[in-house]
Amino acid sequence: MAGFGEHAKIRLLLVHGFTGSPVSMRPLGELLAARGFSVEIVRLPGHGTHYRDMQKTRYADWRAEVERALDALSRDDEPVVLVGFSMGGTLVLDVASSGHSGIAGVVSINAQILGRGGLIVKLAPFLEKIVPLAPASAAGLVENDIAKPGGDEKAYGWVPSAAGNSYVRELPRIREQIRSLSVPLLVAYSPQDHSVPPANSQAILEFAGSTDKTELKLERSYHVAPLDYDLPLLEERVAEFSERVAKRT
């Protein structure tokens, strides 16, 4: 979505979550585009089609797609703000803390950075060889974790085990790497998240190396906050953040 007016040169790259699709980020993207920002919503490989397509992909493929989109947006040196929801938040933190230039700021929304406990998680490397697919609930995912009635993020009901494990294996590296994050950071999270515990966002605020860190509580929403009651608040705060950090570049 091309921008217009005074915000046209500020690029926003929106990234959806694990097993999801751009559906979860579209309302936020459209609202920001209506303010004049240039907005792109990435579709991660294997997502937004059929869960069997996701079986062929891994975390490295999803990260590479975010990098590709970032490179395309930052070709002419205009500021880019990365906005990621859930695993998308993890991805943008990963990319932004790995030394990429052209990033003005990062917004993480209910992102995961901590590992999960439990026997199934510990056995996951072995189970993926004999159970290639698992119900989303077995992976700790709550279907349509949205407080607002009628919301549907169109996520897969089945999780490809090897693809999911490729994500979980990267978390320790990313937790350590974000200590090197130097760009401004907005961490938005839902205290009533039933899929990714709020402790993850608290850990991001603690570990991230940026000296410019802002916390935003989404009190009225569950996990899929971009489709929930706090969407207007998210729009307002992401817009304010993007305007501010773009002026610094």
More confident call, 1 vs 42 = 42
d(CA 226, CA 14): 11
d(CA 39, CA 47): 20
User: Can you give the pTM of this predicted structure?
Assistant: 0.94
pLDDT digits (tens, 9 = 90+) for 203-229: 999 999 999 999 999 999 999 999 999
How many domains does the chain contain in total? 1
d(CA 191, CA 9): 34
Q: Are 47 and 65 in contact (CB under 8 A)?
A: no
230 catalytic per annotation:
no
User: Structural domain of residue 124, as residue ranges?
Assistant: 5-248
pLDDT value of position 106:
98
Among 223, 228, 230, 242, the one annotated catalytic: 223
Taking the CB of residue 7, how many other CB atoms lie within 10 A of it? 19
pLDDT value of position 14:
98
182 catalytic per annotation:
no
Assess whether pLDDT exceeds 80 at residue 101. yes
pLDDT value of position 227:
98
Residue 69: both structure tokens together: 């989109």
pLDDT digits (tens, 9 = 90+) for 66-90: 999 999 998 787 889 999 999 999 9
The CATH number covering residue 37 comes to 3.40.50.1820
Q: Which of 97, 91, 88 is nearest to 178 (CA)?
A: 97
pLDDT band at 119 (very low <50, low <70, confident <90, very high): very low
Among 24, 86, 161, 195, the one annotated catalytic: 86
- Span 46-52, average pLDDT: 96
Size (the chain), residues: 249
d(CA 81, CA 121): 33
Q: Are 210 and 182 in contact (CB under 8 A)?
A: yes
d(CA 198, CA 71): 31
Q: Which residue has the tokens 């990260």?
A: 63
pLDDT digits (tens, 9 = 90+) for 234-245: 999 999 999 999
pLDDT digits (tens, 9 = 90+) for 19-36: 999 999 999 999 999 999
Among 145, 193, 228, 230, the one annotated catalytic: 193
pLDDT value of position 128:
65
Residue 224: both structure tokens together: 């899929």
Range name among 94-103, 126-135, 180-189 with the lowest pLDDT average:
126-135
Task: Name the percent of the chain lying above pLDDT 90.
Answer: 79
161 catalytic per annotation:
no
